[in-house]
Chains A and B, each alone.
Chain A
Amino acid sequence: MLQKFLCLCAVFSMYATAYTQNSFTLKGNVYNAKSLEPIMGVTIFGEQNMTISSSEGSFVLGPFYKKNTSIRISHIGYKTQDITINFSSSIENLKIYLKETTNSLKKVELHGKSKNRLYEESPLVTYNVDEDFLQKNRENSLMQTLQNIPGVSTINIGSGQSKPVIRGLGFNRVVVVQNGIKHEAQQWGSDHGLEIDQYGIENVSVIKGPASLLYGSDAIAGVVDIQPPKIPHIHSFTGNVNLLAETNNDLLGISTGVQSRKEHWFYRARLTYRDYGDYKVPADVINYNNYVFQLSKNHLRNTAGREANASFSLGYIARHIKSETFFSNVNAKNGFFANAHGLEVRTSDIDYDRSNRDIDLPFHTVNHFKVLNNTSIQQGMHKISIELGYQHNHREEHSEPVAHGYMPKPDNSKERIFKKSTYALNLRDEFKPNDRNKLIYGINTEYQDNNIAGWGFLIPAYNRFTTGAFAYDHYELTHDFHLMLGLRYDYGTIETKEYVDWYETPVHHGDGTTTNAYVQRAKNKTNKYGNYSASIGASYIANNTKYKLNIGRSFRMPLANELASDGKNYHMYRYEKGNLDLDPESSYQIDVDFDHTNNLFRVCMSPFVNFFDNFIYLNPTANYNNTENLQTYEYTQAKVFRAGGELQASTTLFDKLTLDGTLEYVYSRQTSGPKKGFTLPFAPPLSGLISANYEFKNTRFFIKPQLTATAKIVAAQKEIVPPEEITNGYQVFHLSIQSDVQLFKNLAPVTIRLKLNNVLDTKYFNHTSFYRLIDVPEAGRNISLSMTIPLNH
């Protein structure tokens, strides 16, 4: 009988960035309960308003000013339904199934919590952004797009590549997860960028702190979690074409995606292509040390690049099972600045200035292929999730062959080649024994096979196996007071492989003689690690004010480069020496989150205090490597204290003008070891972002036109470690205009964005940019025009 009473689910409200909310809207679809076909012309009554469903069965009802309300759904030939709605935020996707028969309906409950509510209840301090944020902040790479999230910054390698930094830590301390599986590439490398197509992403959740409890080793400083896109509506077809053009690096980009669903089966597909030239900086010359590089027409020569990505997924959804398999391939080629690679000044016969679009040496190519499957099965009180993944990363670094030290001139440009295969399996059960408890437990397993080639040796080949078991419980003490407690244990092995130079080096012996020998740079060695992670936290929701407190411990296994590097990094003028005796890093963090919203403004604050027992750090020593004459950099461990946080405030004036301000700061100190008293490398300076957004009235053609002005104000970074340089503060201004335009009669409106970055063509330096070390300023003025054209009604 039960199923006769109700047919409904409610779910997923996407908009996590809730600003001042006085009212709620309710969006949904009405379907025939039997045929699952949408029903047109259904009347939906609110307490003060009503609407009629469209030909696709969809409707929008609102505004509602009360949190608890009821609606009535009626249509001829169908049984009238009454539904009680309990808003915690606007509901985006309420599905209503109407029965044809005249069965009586006695009680209907609304199950499910909005995504926003779930986030508020979780003691973990996370920051979620949706597709709207991504589109508004769209920059040249995913991480550049995400850097407007307070506490998130990037290490940029030219205009098209970047890697994530969370509260000042990056490289292997930040995990990027896509569709439940860790993205595995050469994250440790300073000129490596993230190989993920930024189009087609709907939701990103950022954890700004130790999260190895949930994600295993490496997630010691944070996680960028790219969540799987929403499942398309039943009997739907949607799609869009994104076009992008930029003046600074003459970029042309196109990305087109479609998704469709019958009843149970659905698919998505996307193609992206981007091609860009050398980017322009507001300088005619670059002065580095005593070198002078003349730039041709402000072009930073040889920083052009291209990227071609394809992805496809096929999914099946039924009442208790959901499964989707994703295939994706990202392929990119990027040039590096020709006059200096790393710190090394280079001259060349290559005529770099003949074109600003060609990619000459030095450059890198990368291909990242992934197959992932996400399956979840709902079985009574259990929801079992399985994530399975295979990925292959193939990266090649090419540079002009030059004799270096005792190495003769190689006969090709393949300096370093990395091939990495990663297999991952995650199993998880979400068990809800009662209304109050949600116990999540599971295992993560990952195996990596890393191979190397090329004439330049930096890190050895290695295999890495990690596995971890975790359990955490989310307990609802009262409706508004939640606790979370979790524990995890990980075990891992790293098996480094031997490497012997391909050329001879003179070896000086104790008796004064010298012989030539092929030097062994890495040995066969297996290291084993075991470590635990823990987290305890509470969240409290007092109407408009939300509090969170979380204390966590995370760990990270040392990487192969930290353990077994024994290579000459000529580009950085250094000899990098690993240490096989390194301990796993462990980190403790206290996070607080405070969020208050009222009719006038919203303010959020998220301070943190963090302590590392044994931070692994590449320490520049005062010594020279015996045979190579390069300064020796050794991987060492030090205690590190860090504190800081983010502050955000926003207000809406006259209903139209929204003002936002954010401030972020991280203080870090090494409190032991050879660099005691110093900060950590790539420390982001104190920075603030102020933006004003004005929404104009709709006109005949322009829907929701808006103007946004942004000022980024950054203080000087005087906290440096060798070989960094002090970076001055700066202010930079951006403008953008956005509007939906009804261009095509039968299609949904087209979104057009015109952005003007660095309005004043300000010359400034970003302390965390790859090219900062050689005194290359950031990109100059850029005008970009982007268009999102829907392919559906």
Chain B
Amino acid sequence: MKLTQKISFLAITLFLFNACSSDSDIDKDLEKPTLTIQFDEAFPKACEQLQRGQTYTFKAKATDNVGLVAYSIDVHHNFDHHTHDDQGVECDLGPIKTPVNPFLFKKNFTLEQQPTAYELSITVEIPNNIDVGDYHCAYSITDQTGWQTQTSIDIKIIE
């Protein structure tokens, strides 16, 4: 190889791999928010039993390094045992059954202040005429960047 070729070869290689390392780093948010029910006042907890006709305040805690933007709650039946929760506790599930008038509670909220820590507090009214049985309570929360964290809890609605 001629010297010029060697030099040009080296130059291109250096350029190529320099381009890789010289990163004009903008501070990127690579952290997901956290969402937990592992504290005393959290409600409901895994395998919690809730009564029809009652009104409850659901509580969970969330944090984020940048700012929390929106959260949602989704209470739906698990009569077909389609999923299980991620709380690490096995709850006794009732027999599989066909829903007649299952309870469905879906709501989402926006946090205008975009706090880095927030305690979710949601009033949930359970009507008298809904099917009793196994339910799921799923929370999710997003941060400014669009990271989302979810958690879900197996619960029971009883008479």
Report A's interface with B, CB cutoff 8 A: 289-291, 344-349, 400, 402-403, 405-406, 409, 545, 573, 592, 594, 596, 598, 603, 605, 607, 619-624, 626-629, 631, 643-645, 647, 665, 667, 674-678, 686, 718, 720, 722-723, 726
Query: Contact: B83 with A346, CB < 8 Å?
Result: yes
Q: Which residues of B contact A349 (CB under 8 A)?
A: 81, 96
Interface SS majority for chain B:
mixed
In order of increasing CB-CB distance, the 6 nearest A-B pairs are A677-B26, A290-B86, A620-B146, A622-B69, A624-B108, A629-B72
Cβ contact of A667, chosen from B20, B83, B106, cutoff 8 A: B20
Query: CA–CA, A631 to B150, complex, Å?
Result: 11
B86 touches A619 (CB 8 A): no
Residues of chain B within 8 A of A406, CB atoms compared: 104
Give the secondary structure class of A's interface.
loop
List B84-140 residues whose CB lies under 8 Å from chain A: 84, 86-88, 96, 99, 104, 106-108, 110, 140
Given contacts A289-B150, A409-B80, A619-B146, 13 further A-B contacts (CB under 8 A): A347-B82, A405-B106, A592-B12, A605-B13, A621-B146, A622-B144, A627-B106, A628-B106, A629-B107, A677-B26, A722-B32, A722-B145, A723-B147
B10-27 near A? 1/0 per residue, CB < 8 Å: 001101110110010111
Instruction: Count chain B CB atoms within 10 A of each CB in A623, A624, A665, A723 and give the residue with the most.
Output: A624
Residues of A within 8 A of B42 (CB): none
Shortest Cβ gap from A443 to chain B (Å): 38
* Contact yes or no, A346 B82, CB < 8 A: yes
Q: Which of A545, A629, A678 contacts B5 (CB 8 A)?
A: A545
Given contact pairs A647-B13, A726-B30, A629 touches B74 in the complex (Cβ within 8 A): yes
Chain B residues contacting A677 (CB-CB under 8 Å) are 25-28
Q: Are B148 and A722 in contact (CB under 8 A)?
A: yes
Give every chain A residue within 8 A of B147 (Cβ-Cβ): 620, 722-723
Q: Say whether B7 faces chain A, with CB atoms less than 8 Å apart.
A: no
Cα-based distance from A644 to B12 in the complex (angstroms): 11
B13 to chain A, nearest CB (A): 7
B23 shortest CB reach to chain A, Å: 8
- On whether A594 and B12 interact (CB within 8 A), knowing A624-B108, A665-B20, the answer reads yes
What's the Cα separation between A45 and B89 when bound, in Å?
84
Cβ-defined contact, A598 with B30, below 8 A: no
List of A residues within 8 angstroms of B19 by Cβ:
643-644, 667
Contacts of B20 in A (CB 8 A): 644, 665, 667, 686
Bound CA span A556–B122, Å: 46
A550 to chain B, nearest CB (A): 15
Does B1 make an interface contact (CB < 8 A)?
A: yes
- Chain A nearest CB from B137 CB (Å) reads 12
* In contact, B86 and A347 (Cβ under 8 angstroms): no
Q: What are 28 contact pairs spanning A and B, CB under 8 A?
A: A290-B88, A290-B151, A402-B80, A406-B104, A545-B5, A573-B148, A596-B1, A598-B1, A605-B9, A607-B15, A620-B146, A621-B142, A622-B145, A624-B72, A624-B108, A629-B108, A631-B142, A644-B19, A647-B13, A665-B16, A674-B146, A675-B146, A676-B26, A677-B27, A677-B28, A718-B30, A722-B145, A723-B148
Which of B8, B25, B76, B146 is packed against the most chain A CB atoms within 10 Å? B146
Cβ–Cβ contact B83 & A623, under 8 A: no
CB distance from A724 to the nearest CB of B (A): 10
A596 contacts B5, CB within 8 Å? Answer: yes
A344 CA / B5 CA spacing, docked (Å):
55
Query: Are B146 and A722 in contact (CB-based, < 8 A)?
Result: yes
Most buried by B among A291, A402, A676: A291
Complex-state Cα separation, A623 to B16, whole angstroms:
39
Task: Scan B48-71; emit 1 where CB is below 8 A from any A CB, else 0.
Answer: 000000000000000000000111
Residues from chain B with a CB closer than 8 A to the CB of A290 are 86-88, 151
Known: A345-B83, A677-B28. A622 touches B16 (CB 8 A): no
Q: How many angstroms between the C-alpha atoms of A349 and B96 in the bound complex?
A: 10
Partner of A594, one of B9, B77, B81, B143: B9
| Chain A residues whose CB sits within 8 angstroms of the CB of B88 once the complex forms | 290
Give the chain A neighbours of B74 by CB distance below 8 A: 629
Contacts A573-B148, A598-B1 known; A665 to B108 CB distance under 8 Å?
no
- B122 → A minimal CB distance (Å): 12
Q: Write the chain A residue with the least CB distance to B71.
A: A624
Report the minimal beta-carbon distance from B18 to chain A, rounded to whole angstroms. Answer: 10
Do the beta carbons of B146 and A644 come within 8 Å of each other? no
Closest approach, in angstroms, between the C-beta of B49 and any C-beta of chain A? Answer: 21
Contacts of A619 in B (CB 8 A): 146
* Cβ–Cβ contact B86 & A607, under 8 A: no
Bound CA–CA A545/B9 (angstroms): 11
**Given contacts A290-B87, A631-B148, A720-B30, A623 and B17 within 8 Å (CB-CB):** no
A607 engages B87 (CB within 8 Å) = no
For the complex, give the distance between the alpha carbons of A291 and B13 in Å: 45
Contact between A402 and B82, CB atoms less than 8 A apart:
yes
**Which of the residues B15, B69, B86 comes within 8 Å of A623, measured between beta carbons?**
B69
For B145, the closest partner residue in chain A by CB is A722
